Amino acid sequence: MTVKPIKLKKYIEKNKKINEEAQIEKREAINCPDCGHNLYGGGKEMDLCICYGHDWGKKIKIEKTESKIKMKFPKSMDGENIEMLLKTLKNINKD
């Protein structure tokens, strides 16, 4: 079986993006700005809402430090949904 270089490159880029850790400011609760679902309630996981389509219900692992939260995304999670979530998280304190 041979893999075309373009497909392989896309696969590697997608996995590289998904496996990167994201850091956000520490909060005790984070709600979805669209549907209001509680995405994060202070535990060790973040639970995605229906706004994330086929990624709905997927769990994101959370590791707290003194000032930040590190997140580890599932490998099967869509890159656009990761970007949407990171945008939401970056904007939680801008209200």
Q: Chunk the chain into consecutive blocks of 10 residues (it has 95) and report each block's average pLDDT, rounded to whole numbers.
A: 68 63 62 88 85 90 79 88 86 66
pLDDT value at residue 88: 83
In-domain check, residue 36: yes
In-domain check, residue 95: no
In-domain check, residue 58: yes
> How far is residue 26's CA from residue 79's CA, in Å, rounded to a whole number?
23
- Give every CB contact of residue 21 below 8 A, 6+ residues apart in sequence: 70, 71, 72
Bridge partners of 69?
A: 24, 64
Q: How many domains does the chain have?
A: 1
Query: Residue 49 sits in which domain range?
Result: 5-90
pLDDT value at residue 92: 73
> How far is residue 52's CA from residue 82's CA, in Å, rounded to a whole number?
9
pLDDT value at residue 27: 59
